[in-house]
Amino acid sequence: MRKNVIRTFLWAALCVFLPGCTGLFFYPQQKHVLTPADLGLNYESIYFESADKTLLHAWLLKAQGAPRGTVVFLHGNAENVSTHIASVYWLPQYGYHVFMLDYRGYGRSAGRAEINGIHEDAAAAIRYVRERSELQVLPVVLYGQSLGGAVALYAAADPVNKSGLAGVIAESAFSGYREIVKEKLASTWLTVLLQYPLALLFEDSFSAAGFVAEIYPLPVLFIHGTNDKIVSASHSSVLYRAAKEPKELWLIPGGGHIGAGGFREYRRRLVEFLGSITHL
């Protein structure tokens, strides 16, 4: 009884100090502010179902010229695909399809964002790409940013998803849900004393540090800006040490959160990395 009272109090405190409990991770936006057409891209708007029948929405940016592979892109915890397209709109010109998923509760996808569901949605996106006739013959690479990086690493470690993948890229990913919760709670005096008890209330079974080694033998690339104020670059260092070869860690000097696509040099390196693992 006493344990239940304490747990209830902690949850209540969390809801007071953090927006909507799950708001620490999820800030979905339904309205699209930009479309691939605005950028002159050839694309398709796609609806498909997650395992629990939740209707999901995605954009498929079409590769220019002979396709070399498909990049399944998993965005961060805020807004929707229309505001994250800046990270990947340039990939089609190098011959890569980009399948951009909006998790449940984001953009035009149905449902409400929650941790279990978004991991199911990532698996559904991989499954869709594998089953679509013109895509199933191409190598598939997962590319996740921030929250999407953690989701991508979990998906790549699952044997069901791993089969047929060429590799995974995690940019600005955090190493654990509880770890990032503790860091965020410690950033304000209102919650600093609650960081440890409240962090224990968060689901941690999806945390990447515990299973990133299981991605082997797939190649995994970690990217992080050294000036990331949202997720410290130390998280990618932790993940890199826990992963098995083949693996790479790119630390971008002075780079911020999910900013690799804004650097011409890192775009070039990303294309080279994709070419090395897709072999096309």
Indicate the burial class of 267 (C-beta count within 10 angstroms; 0-12, 13-18, 19 or more).
Answer: middle
Interatomic CA distance for residues 154 and 158, integer angstroms: 7
Kindly report, residue by residue over 96-149, the tens digit of the pLDDT.
Answer: 999 999 999 999 999 999 989 999 999 999 999 999 999 999 999 999 999 999
Comparing CA positions, the residue from 255, 250, 248 lying closest to residue 225 is: 255
3-state secondary structure 195-255: HHHHHCCCCCCCCHHHCHHHHCCCCEEEEEECCCCCCCCHHHHHHHHHCCCCEEEEEECCC
Most confident residue range from 9-23, 63-77, 176-190:
63-77
Percentage of residues in the chain with pLDDT exceeding 90? 76
Mean pLDDT over each residue of the chain, to the nearest integer: 88
pLDDT score for 211: 92
pLDDT score for 21: 45
pTM of the model: 0.88
Interatomic CA distance for residues 258 and 255, integer angstroms: 8
Interatomic CA distance for residues 114 and 109, integer angstroms: 13
pLDDT score for 8: 42
pLDDT score for 20: 39
pLDDT score for 17: 44
pLDDT score for 194: 53
Mean pLDDT of 177-201: 57
Kindly report, residue by residue over 221-232, the tens digit of the pLDDT.
Answer: 999 999 999 999
∠ Cα 217 114 247 (to 5°)? 20
Torsion on CA atoms 182, 186, 187, 192, rounded to nearest 10: 140
Most confident residue range from 25-29, 125-129, 203-207:
125-129
Amino acid letter, 150: A
DSSP one-letter string for 2-55: HHHHHHHHHHHHHHHHTTTTGGGT-EE--S-S--GGGGT--EEEEEEE-TT--E
Q: Is the pLDDT of residue 204 over 70?
A: no
Q: Which are the contacts of 55, defined by CB distance < 8 A and separation ≥ 6? A: 47, 48, 49, 109, 110, 111
φ/ψ of 176, rounded to 5, equals -160, 145
Structure tokens at 216: 């082997």
Domains of the chain: 2-278 (3.40.50.1820)
Interatomic CA distance for residues 81 and 74, integer angstroms: 9
Q: Which are the contacts of 62, defined by CB distance < 8 A and separation ≥ 6? A: 41, 42, 43, 44, 92, 97
∠ Cα 71 240 74 (to 5°)? 25
pLDDT score for 271: 97
Interatomic CA distance for residues 11 and 36, integer angstroms: 41
Kindly report, residue by residue over 155-169, the tens digit of the pLDDT.
Answer: 999 999 998 899 999
φ/ψ of 57, rounded to 5, equals -120, 145
